Chains A and B, each alone.
Chain A
Amino acid sequence: MNKYIVEAKDLKVHFKIRGSFISGLLNKDDKVVKAVDGVNLGIKKGEIVSLVGESGSGKTTAGRAILNLQQHEGELKFDNEVYKFNDKTWLKNFRKRAQMIFQDPYQSLNPKYMIIDVVSEPLRLIDKHLTQSEIKDKTIQALEFAGLKPGEDYIYRYPHELSGGQRQRVAIAAVFIVSPEFIVADEPVSMLDASIRADIVKLMYEMKEQKGTSYLFITHDLSLAWLISDRIAIMYLGKIVEIGPADIISGDCKHPYTQALVSVLSNVDVDNKREKIVLKGETPSPVDLPKGCRFHPRCPNVKPKCTEEEPELRELGKDQLVACHYPDRILKFVGEK
């Protein structure tokens, strides 16, 4: 039996930027944005993997590519089968088994649809022979699972009548109704108040516990990722720089970028203030990638080799992969501080 639900090998998404008319006449090459540039990632069945990175690191694009919502290069496997882009029945089946939760519940629900239409749409697309009463029953069931009880009260309402948290629950109900095995959740709580985001996160966790659903959880919130996931992958400029069990965040993460991210995490605990490694400047543009290690212009511990040669992901410790030439040096560097 295959233990991976999704495997990505050397996944690449490159966007061409059309140059100006004049540069076209001069036969200049179009510039290319390397949004995702060689990602290797496997998600086991029943596992939550978080993909963490700053905006522009390519985490959303990677998630969309994995769900076949984005043109890409590289090999993708779902349940040990290579994606069959030309096979309509395979694609239809894939849609049923793999779903996405979007970031903004204010934009992801069609304002002209009633909640019953929003929630049952995936179901109606997959099975065209359902009767009205079956659709209604399943919608109510899904809404109640998502915490909108009693479901009858909600099915004939419109999205504008609901609050942000309720809308996100509707979006989750619409995903849950087809019982997918794999879900890409793209920043599902970033638009919500801190006081209600725990409910949404718990709901997703419950689905994992009950149905063994696997997740790719895309977020910029490292502490939330640490809280709910089994493994965490840190992305920087289209590449994974470190991946390992969630505990590495609170323990020994090795890549300097991860260490900096962890050190600047805001923390409510007033007794546990640590020294911050605030990186200077901002993420470089993915059009002109720096030579060598992508992180070297901002790395506090850069060495000549880093500007020449790009480090590959290599195993350091149990299940922990790091793309850095000098991970031991960093440990020392932090220890010295």
Chain B
Amino acid sequence: MNEPNKKILEIKDLSIFFDISLGTVKAVENVSFDLYEGESLGLVGESGCGKTTTALTTMGMLPDNGYIHSGEIHYEGKNLAPNTEEEWQLYRWNDIAMVFQGAMNALNPVKKISFQIAEAITLHNPNINPNDVKVKIKELFKLVGLDTSRIDNYPHEFSGGMRQRVMIAMALACDPKVLIADEPTTALDVMVQAQIIDLINSLRIKLNMSMIIITHDLSIISETCDRIAVMYAGKIVEIGSVRDIIKNSLHPYTKKLIAAFPNIYGERKMIESIPGTPPNLLDPPKGCRFHLRCSEAIELCKSIEPKLVSFGDGHFAACHLLRGDANE
């Protein structure tokens, strides 16, 4: 891990709300993180904690009932948050692209693969020559390790792992600088999972991309990422380097999340689960959002929300039980 140089993406105090008939869902609140050039950041958390929502927002693809309540998204120094749809289209796929969750269902079953990739290329480069498109598709197929003779196949002729490769090829169609991968290996077999992780790692180095990997599986993140941000109920509770988070985790939620994964090279002991369920984000609990499930909660946790505090070397955690650097 070489020292990252320049910030490519800067998320500042981002809050994303959804209006539904029952009220306002505060899906993401006051989330801030940076993504450096060539870096890979993992977003981890339980289902419904706002990982995918954060990612969709950085692509300008929120559903109609969702909106950015406050905060900024800086891409190469420019704030994208107030963008209109037309302005988003200049960035989406050209600069920031995404590999969507569920490769099985993300492709159109009645269109050829080549047509679907060509669609992405021609939409963003309207003046491109059709022959160049074909050349580009073949290049992309080679890049992700697929047989170039099969570009005219239909999605059902491909296996799950191959379809995931197609999704990655499609995301790379316009040479983005930032790639967001949403659960890239869920629903794949272990061996195929390993192949896809290998592919993602090698592509990142080869193309010098920055990546955000979203998953609920900490073990995958620890193999692909430089830094990890742990999210709980719409907030980042801890962020830091992979080593800091895994070996020196501070927040009680992170610790419990790590204890939920067995380690076959360690002691054979029963995994632990986290009691209770995540809070309802229509009406999040007062104070620390984790206090209802936290075994170490004190009175303070029920009333006052903890802020992210620095513990040195870019390691931040939000918990009242911890004391950060003296200057905070």
Check A282/B159 contact, CB under 8 A, given A198-B271, A222-B190, A226-B268. yes
Looking across the interface, which residue of chain B has its beta carbon closest to that of A273? B223
CB pair A268–B246 under 8 Å, yes or no, is yes
Any chain A CB within 8 A of the CB of B274? yes
Check A265/B264 contact, CB under 8 A, given A194-B217, A220-B189. yes
- Which of B218, B242, B268 has the most C-beta atoms of chain A within 10 angstroms of its own C-beta? B268
How long is the Cα–Cα vector from A49 to B257 in the complex, in angstroms?
Answer: 27
Give every chain B residue within 8 A of A201 (Cβ-Cβ).
270-271
Check A202/B264 contact, CB under 8 A, given A260-B191, A268-B222. no
Distance in Å: Cβ of B248 to nearest Cβ of chain A: 11
Interface size on A, residues (CB 8 A): 40
Any chain B CB within 8 A of the CB of A205? yes
CB pair B161–A227 under 8 Å, yes or no, is no
Any chain A CB within 8 A of the CB of B70? no
Binds A, one of B61-69, B117-125, B129-137, B192-200: B192-200
CB pair A54–B222 under 8 Å, yes or no, is no
Any chain A CB within 8 A of the CB of B90? no
CB pair A261–B190 under 8 Å, yes or no, is yes
Distance in Å: Cβ of B220 to nearest Cβ of chain A: 5
CB pair A261–B191 under 8 Å, yes or no, is yes
CB-CB contacts below 8 Å: B229-284 with A:
242-243, 246-247, 256-258, 260-266, 268, 270-274, 277
CB pair A270–B265 under 8 Å, yes or no, is no
Give every chain A residue within 8 A of B271 (Cβ-Cβ).
197-198, 201, 227
CB pair A195–B190 under 8 Å, yes or no, is no
Any chain A CB within 8 A of the CB of B7? no
- Which of A226, A266, A269, A273 has the most C-beta atoms of chain B within 10 angstroms of its own C-beta? A266
Check A268/B191 contact, CB under 8 A, given A196-B273, A223-B264, A226-B264. no
Any chain B CB within 8 A of the CB of A11? no
Any chain A CB within 8 A of the CB of B219? yes
Looking across the interface, which residue of chain A has its beta carbon closest to that of B263? A269
CB pair A198–B272 under 8 Å, yes or no, is yes
Check A282/B192 contact, CB under 8 A, given A196-B273, A202-B270, A270-B246. yes
Looking across the interface, which residue of chain B has its beta carbon closest to that of A201? B271
- Which of B217, B219, B243 has the most C-beta atoms of chain A within 10 angstroms of its own C-beta? B219
Convert A127-142 into 0s and 1s, putting 1 for each residue whose CB lies closer than 8 angstroms to a CB of B.
0000000000000000
Distance in Å: Cβ of B229 to nearest Cβ of chain A: 16
Any chain B CB within 8 A of the CB of A23? no
Check A276/B258 contact, CB under 8 A, given A266-B220, A267-B263, A268-B219. no
CB pair B277–A163 under 8 Å, yes or no, is yes
Any chain A CB within 8 A of the CB of B46? yes
Any chain B CB within 8 A of the CB of A82? no
Give every chain B residue within 8 A of A165 (Cβ-Cβ).
277
Any chain A CB within 8 A of the CB of B320? no
Picked from B193, B195, B273, the residue with its CB within 8 Å of the CB of A266 is: B193
How long is the Cα–Cα vector from A195 to B49 in the complex, in angstroms?
Answer: 13
Question: What residues of chain B have their CB less than 8 Å away from a CB belonging to chain A?
Answer: 46-47, 159, 161, 189-195, 197-198, 216-220, 222-223, 242-243, 246-247, 256-258, 260-266, 268, 270-274, 277
Question: What residues of chain A have their CB less than 8 Å away from a CB belonging to chain B?
Answer: 54-55, 163, 165, 193-199, 201-202, 205, 220, 222-224, 226-227, 246, 249-250, 260-262, 264-273, 276, 278-279, 282
What are 10 sample pairs from A and B whose C-beta atoms fall under 8 A apart? Answer: A194-B216, A195-B46, A198-B272, A220-B189, A223-B261, A223-B264, A227-B262, A250-B264, A279-B191, A282-B192
Besides A196-B274, A266-B219, 7 new A-B residue pairs in contact (Cβ under 8 A), listed by A number: A165-B277, A198-B273, A223-B262, A226-B268, A261-B190, A264-B194, A272-B263
Top 8 closest pairs, chain A to chain B, by CB: A266-B219, A198-B273, A264-B194, A54-B189, A198-B271, A195-B274, A223-B262, A199-B273
